Amino acid sequence: MRAVASLFIAGAVLGAAGIANAQNIQADKMDVAGLRLGMTEAEVTRALKAFDPKAQVSSRRVSHYSYSDGVNGFQTPDFLSELEVRTADSRFRIWFASPPGESRVYAIHRYSQGNPNPPGRAQFVSALTAKYGPAQLNYDPSRGTNIAQWHEQGKPDCAVSANASGRIAVDGGNETLLPPNAVNVLEGLARQQNPNLRRTMGSSIDVARCGRVLRYTWGGPANDAAFAISEFYVWLVDQGGMVAKDRQSTQWVKQLEADAIRKRQGQGVTPKL
């Protein structure tokens, strides 16, 4: 179910061709600059102010769902769908679940640049390891992209390549991560019995069972320990949660529409014949 938004915000895409599996990590160890999945808007604001007291909300996107009784059009009340926040060196995009569930974070993206004293690759990877635990690193020489990825312990890893051949297991594309279309991509991969999902889920594929994924990407060579990491991208997404919430929203709107149709039909007036 696609909501109608009243403010547009754009994103970015990266690609890679790694083949290694992501590392397991406990869900409570996943955060991006203090932001965690499941936070409310107020909690997000406090976390980002703690990260950077000068953090400013640059965009607040609200959306609604539309439906009809067959004659008249209706729409749900507006709800918060996305925040964009800027700090001294980063831009954050934070997505919130739609009704009828609570308005809580299910996806986070960070783009960081402008560090006047960027760390070398070895220092950067060491910092990631210290914060999250060892990462499985992938590298795409054609794009010069490094990928570090972790997935939620005990749940299927669905941040896989959409490549239909299955020869590329993990890539740096954001097709399965970027809301709201990531839901359609994941549901489509499930219908197609994508070989990468079969590897992680077996023969019974339901992408609502997918776990959370944390991914860092940055440019530069793979093995130059001193190469300065002046910019990087981060994704933290509850893939299964966003699929389940989208299904719930779809059913909710269908029920609103069915109720509206019944109400209209119950009030119908037969004309003189």
DSSP per-residue codes, 122-143: HHHHHHHHHHH---EEEEETTT
> What is the structure's pLDDT at 81?
98
Q: Is residue 261 part of a domain?
A: no
Give me the amino acid identity at 202.
Answer: G
What is the pLDDT at residue 258?
97
Closest by CA to 191, choosing from 164, 161, 156, 160, is 164
Q: Total domain count for the chain?
A: 1
Report pLDDT for 206.
97
Predicted confidence at residue 160, as pLDDT, reads 82
The three-state secondary structure class of 120 is: strand
pLDDT at 112: 97
pLDDT for 167: 62
pLDDT of residue 99: 97
3-class secondary structure, 5: strand
Q: For residue 45, with 0-12 CB atoms within 10 Å meaning exposed, 13-18 middle and 19 or more buried, which class applies? A: middle
Tokens of 57: 């909300």
Does residue 265 sit within a domain? no
Asked if the structure places residue 8 within a domain, the reply is: no
Q: At what angle do helices 239-266 and 181-191 cross, to 10 degrees?
A: 100
Whether 95 is in a domain gets the answer yes
Cα(113)–Cα(147) distance, integer angstroms = 17
pTM of the model: 0.88
What length does the chain have? 273
| Amino acid (1-letter code) at residue 17 | A
Write the CA distances from 62 to 51, 139, 212, 223, integer angstroms.
Answer: 25, 37, 24, 43
pLDDT of the residue at 210: 96
Please indicate, yes or no, if residue 116 is contained in any of the structural domains: yes
What's the domain range around 145?
14-256
pLDDT of residue 17: 33
CB 112 within 8 A of CB 118: no
pLDDT of residue 169: 63
The list of the chain residues with pLDDT below 50 reads 5-21
Identify whether 273 is part of a domain: no
According to the model, what pLDDT value does residue 159 have? 87
Query: 73: which strand partners?
Result: 68
Residue 172 is assigned to a structural domain of this protein: yes
263 within domain boundaries: no
Cβ-count burial 172-205 (b if 16+ within 10 Å, e if not): bbbbbbbbbebbebbbebbeeebbbbeebbeeeb
